[in-house]
Amino acid sequence: MTTARARNLFGTDGIRAVAGEAPLDPTSIFAIGLALAHSLRNAAAEPTVVIGRDTRESSPWIAATLAAGLRQAGARVESAGIVPTPAVAFLTRAHGFQAGVVVSASHNPWRDNGIKFFGADGFKLPDAVELAIEEEILHQASMKHTPDPTSLSAVDDNPAFQAEYIQFLIDCVPGLSLGGKRIVADCANGAASAIAPELFRRLGGDIMLLNVTPDGRNINDHCGALHPQIVAAEVAARGAELGLTFDGDADRCMLAGARNNVINGDAILLMVARDLKARRLLTGNLVVATTMSNMGLEAALMRSDIRMLRAPVGDRYVLEQMLEFKAALGGEQSGHILLPHLATTGDGMLTALVVLDLIARSGQSIDELTADLKVFPQVIVNVKVRERKPLESIPAVAATIRAAEEQLKDSGRVVIRYSGTEALARVMIEAESEEAMHHHADAIATAIRIELGV
């Protein structure tokens, strides 16, 4: 009940919508600031909040409106400026802020934006806390307290926060030097653009940075982790050893090898799991992945006597299982990797440095480290939907899904879910046969499109 209620505003990664439209219109954003500050007054008379943002055209005015609501309700606000989402989580905990707020829509197009919260411990807020804040947001929004746009003043950015986050990243991989290595890094014209130049300058090496000139509208635009083939092609063309690519808020990382090949989160989990196990840091010899992770990952981990659990898609659900089973490693195929001994949330730049450190210590290339990962053919088809009706309640769709499950049995998997951040149904089919994979994916996607498509 509470989870469904919370999803009125909160998706799996905060509140997300087209900037300027409800619930990201000025009235709602001001109400979000009021509600958050009110919720924090139980912990402190004058709660302190740090805000970070990505490079979207709408991020400055959303941050200013949010700060106005927070201040109106008695909170003190500081700004880290343009920083990755995980930087806000780190700064919140490191400086004792009562909350951290990120203005970002992550991998979404530039017209979208979002607001997500971190608690004082640096973790994303639990569902129950989000529900309580949501109820207060809806109450405050009904009062129609819209600030005068001319009265809004931007919060002065503190550049020391960026420098502190960069130092934190370097401290996580002591002794790492990239001298002598040629690497391509795609910053998606997003938050990584503000961090990567100084970070890689300090680490040395021949680092070619792509998409580091954000203009407010080019974030994720045919670049970054949503288009890893771009950096893969650049690695091959420039004779580099490795490619790194981040999404708009830099909480995920995808890689590329020297053969114009993309290396996703599954392969990262395999490499890091084996390394942690060799160093006796993989508690319980356990990795938490999601329902989207390939069967090939499970098989490769099993060969190394490492168990794999599957959580629902969404880093908060991966983290829930990690905490329950005391796992040291978890993540998603999308490149969102969780390393709780280093950070409280997924961090794309940290993931990149961990992999670079692993390569340096092992003396092996990224392709050698992932050579035995035999990936089952897998396809994901996204279907735009007008509503998120339970698929099992639609006879034609349910029958098509059952037929696929019965025919694939132990030779494949069927995972159908709604996106937590977009109006999409995602159809994932994995099978030994590419013909069967495409057949079932097309059949299910067509059934959904006919019944629920836009």
Catalytic residues: 106
CA 366, CA 368: separation in Å to the nearest integer?
5
Contact 432, 423 (CB under 8 A): no
412-418, strands of its sheet edge to edge? 378-384, 424-431, 412-418
Residue that is written with structure tokens 């088809």 in the block: 381
Beta bridge partners of 425: 383, 418
DSSP state of 19: T
Beta bridge partners of 76: 48
> What amino acid is encoded at 178 in this protein?
L
Contact 318, 291 (CB under 8 A): no
Q: Locate 146 and state its tokens.
A: 């819209």
DSSP state of 385: B
> What amino acid is encoded at 341 in this protein?
H
CA 248, CA 275: separation in Å to the nearest integer?
28
CB atoms inside a 10 Å sphere around CB 126: 13
**Residues shown for the chain:** 454
Residue that is written with structure tokens 């707020």 in the block: 101
Nearest to 334 by CA among 413, 248, 273: 248
CA 170, CA 174: separation in Å to the nearest integer?
7
Q: Locate 251 and state its tokens.
A: 């909480």
CB atoms inside a 10 Å sphere around CB 7: 16
- CA 348 to chain CA centroid, Å, is 8
CA 51, CA 65: separation in Å to the nearest integer?
12
CA 401, CA 393: separation in Å to the nearest integer?
12
Nearest to 349 by CA among 239, 158, 156, 202: 202
